[in-house]
Chains A and B, each alone.
Chain A
Amino acid sequence: MVDLRTELAGLRLRNPTMLASGFLDETGGSLVRVHRAGAGAVVTKSIGPEPREGYANPTVVEIDGGLLNAVGLPNPGIEAFVPELEEALAAKALVIGSVYGKDAAEYALVAGRMAEAGAAAIEMNLSCPHAKGLGTEIAQSEEAVREFTRAVKDAVDVPVFPKLSPNVADIASFAVAAERGGADGIVAINTVKAMSIAPELRMPVLANRYGGLSGPAIRPIGVRAVYDIYEKVDIPVIGVGGVDSGHAALEYIMAGARAVQIGTALVDQGLGVFERVTKEMGFLLEDIGFKGVAEAVGVAHE
């Protein structure tokens, strides 16, 4: 029997599948369902200091090979979210709190409250387009990534995992910046900036015009990013982008990830995707001669 357990900065996961942020993770009831469906850990919707409605619809477009979305960070704000988090924790889910803010202090504030309420780790959503004074996403300034990571690290005692954007020339240098800021792990990748146009109407479909692409279409980009990051940092990497099978998960694992996040595959496969991917990883690892996930991490570099 293949050992599917994995470990991330002291967090012990029963298997390497995690729920990606932005999917079924705004309410306690949904987080509990995903936990019961077999996810090794669940990441919450990105939560900020205040309630936020997000963008107008259309916010999601189904396209070949994935999903394009611009939901605009809707969330109930950290105070209203705490009871939802507590509901998930009461069901013994391993919960990682995703946070965003307009400046480092807001990130630290929300992360602090999230950790205090029981989140096992903090994921930093750095692709927030509303950051004050940067004129761009935090994720596109190495200095900001380091500073914001440092601010969150100083605010909490749990592991901190910045989630990096692929919309940069050299993602590995951002991972290095995050590691210098004290990050305990790296999540890669966030969505790829993209657009879909309705020719009949001569306009972009998303109300926000631009959106983030997820799903199998971006998997090779994610695998390459994880591969590059693994070469440059010593902290664990969590792979995300188009994982929809055990085979896809192992691409990330062999590129250097110790766990993978799953989101878009929920559309076609539903909640069964976590158990299916985990089982497939087990069969495939056994078939190719591995005793566990841990020994497969990064083997594509050898």
Chain B
Amino acid sequence: MNILQYEFVQNALIVGILLSITAGVIGSLIVIKRDTFLIGGIAHASFGGLGLFYFLGLNPILGAFTVALASGSVIGLSNEKQLQTHNALIAVLWAFGMSLGIIFITITPGFAPNLLTYLFGDILTVTRSDILNIVIYNFILLIFLFLFYKPLIVYLFDKEFAALHGIKVKLYRLFFYLFIAIAVVLMIRSVGIILVLALLTIPPLIVLPLSKRLPMIIIMSILVSLIIFIGGFFIAYYTNLPTGPIIIVTGTVLLLLVRLVCLLKKKNS
């Protein structure tokens, strides 16, 4: 039987392709900026918002969105040097957000949703409106990148040099973290909090040793995301195992393989 004839499978695959673009771009920028921990903080803190909105009977994703935007803005507007010395604070935010989310979901009367759904998402339940949201986001992201790629890279690489050359460092910072925060929420909806981290970090880590150029790293990350996503999806389908974890395991195995090959190549040369 052809599984592609089901609408939910089609939707899932379309979301996979679209999110691969999101993850490839945002993930590459995060990994070269070494901000992965911060993103983990945003993703897990937003779970608190999700729980609160669920408790209030509102759309949980809107709660996650609000918290993610708020934390993205706070990070975007605060002093970078101070943030780096406050890694522990991010860990607190991380744990607090998760705990708050679980408490709110537990005290909400009625049927309690499966927490695993939020942690690992459920790609098979995504709708056409989710697809539209990601399309709009990707469109804005790619336009922004097309117009402001060069100043953005100068900002990411060397803030002082950027400031000296008239680049509005604070504005770029704010945009950078807002783009990240929105991407995180879009991804939570379909792939869950844990998979957000995996999809943002595994593909760039796989391709980093393969290219010296950031544009190539972004493009290759998108392709690797696609491979992991689609590959993981079909493996999960035919083994009847949960999609999210299978996608992560597929990615991690690929990461180990690529790094091993690179290591062997280096030893032989």
Q: Answer yes or no: are A and B bound together in one complex.
A: no
**A residues whose Cβ falls under 8 Å from a Cβ of B:** none
**B residues whose Cβ falls under 8 Å from a Cβ of A:** none
